[in-house]
Amino acid sequence: MVMGGFSRLIKIKPRIRTEQIAISQTLEPLTGIRIERQIPIKGTITSVVLHYPEGCNALVDVRVGHGTKQLCPATGVVALDAATPVIPTSEKVLLNEVLWAVLENADFVNPHTITVMVTIEV
Amino acid sequence: MVYIVPGKGIGKPDYSDEVSRGIYRAGLDLKSGQSLKSFYVIFTPVVSPFIPWVKPVLVPAATGHLVDAETGIDMPYVLSEGYIISLIQDSFGFKVQADVWILVDTMPVAQLSVSAGGLEVYRNRVIPFSTQVLDPTGIFPHLIDVQVTNPGGANLEGSVAVSAIVEAVGTPPLPTTKTVKCNHCGHQWSVPFDTTKLICSKCGELTIVYTLSSFRRTS
């Protein structure tokens, strides 16, 4: 029998660990590249950030995925100008799985530097 | 793994739009789909065998055409369908009176000058002459000509320079080759668009022209 007291439930929020994988690449005109990185932890990709400097003029195609699956966008490509969209995702990944980004610069004249940043949460 | 991809257009250098560029004179900043064209003529007794737009003096009652600085070919310039052209800047100076006309499809549409001798003019046009008001969607090709006529009684010495912007209205980029003309024998042939020193494939002589295709902005 509990006298004069009450039970309290204390919810302990687990600590969240995150890792970022950043890919930044300068593409010469009419050049494409596939960049691969090893995923350092088992967890969930919670966001993908793409950065297009002003001047890209929707001429640089970007797609991101892991293993055999394209993640961002689900289909097709993203090609923007002066934009840094943060795309929320919820994609489970495994330790040492391959994260890849395909960047293609279809500008006849100008090089462009594209940045892709992926956040993985445990 | 790096590979080649097909081109789709021309953008701008990254981060090229600055808040304060410190431009102290009128400049030019081309948008995607725009390219610069320049046309010149110099009437002079000074001989220049390599420069196509340097021509002998214009005799009385004669008419001369400006020359495409990229190809060495006399105007009229053939504006392909799907494009518009806007004359944004002109300058001229003559020792005697000269009449300068713009013609579209052989029809006079604007008079650049009825210039008195000894007068030098430079104009950076806010509202340019443009085929956009004649054919806004570029449905048809057009012949664009700038002519100089000597209405007087003496030989004409002087020069005209015209700069224009050619803009695509929903068409693929301009080709990567251009047809050029030898200043010595008149032979015409195709070369890559950025070629400036032309060695004639027929007579072997040198002609010098400009390349403006990669021009994007004034500094």
**pLDDT reading at A58 higher than 60:** yes
How many cross-chain Cβ pairs, A to B, lie less than 8 Å apart? Answer: 73
Predicted ipTM of the assembly: 0.75
pLDDT digits (tens, 9 = 90+) for B110-141: 777 766 667 777 776 666 788 888 888 888 99
Taking 90 as the threshold, does the pLDDT of residue A94 lie above it? yes
Nearest to B9 by CA among A53, A17, A55: A55
Residue in chain B nearest A101 by alpha carbon: B1
Q: Closest chain B residue to A34 measured between Cα atoms?
A: B1
| pLDDT number for residue B105 | 92
Give how far the C-alpha of residue A104 lies from the chain's centroid of Cα atoms, to the nearest Å: 17
Tell me the chain A residues in contact with residue B17 when contact means C-beta distances shorter than 8 Å. Answer: 54-55
A107 touches chain B (CB under 8 A): yes
**Cβ within 8 Å of residue A17, ≥6 positions away:** A41, A43, A121, A122
Cβ burial B86-124 (10 Å sphere, 16+ → b, else e):
bbbbbbbbbbbbbbbbbbbbeeeeeebbebeeeeeeeee
CA angle B169, B171, B173 (to 5 degrees): 110
Long-range contacts of A85-88 (CB under 8 A, 24+ apart): A85/A49, A85/A50, A86/A47, A86/A48, A86/A49, A87/A47, A87/A48, A87/A49, A87/A50, A88/A46, A88/A47
Q: Nearest CA to CA, how far is B174 from chain A (Å)?
A: 11
- Decide if A53 and B5 are in contact by the 8 Å CB cutoff: no
DSSP state of B131: G
Q: What is the pLDDT of residue A7?
A: 58
Give dist(CA A79, CA B107) in Å, integer.
44
Closest to B121 (Cα-Cα) out of B100, B136, B105: B100
Contact assessment for residue A22 and residue A86, using Cβ atoms and an 8 Å cutoff: no
Strand partners, B9: A107
Interface test with B, best of A34, A62, A110 (most B CBs within 10 A): A110
How many CA atoms are closer than 13 Å to the CA of B177, on its beta-carbon side? 5
On average, the pLDDT of chain B sits at 85
Stated pTM of the model: 0.54
**Which position has the higher pLDDT, B152 or B217?**
B152
In this model, does residue B213 exceed pLDDT 90? no
pLDDT tens by residue, B50-83: 999 999 999 999 999 999 999 999 999 999 988 9
What's the start-to-end Cα distance of chain A, in Å?
Answer: 41
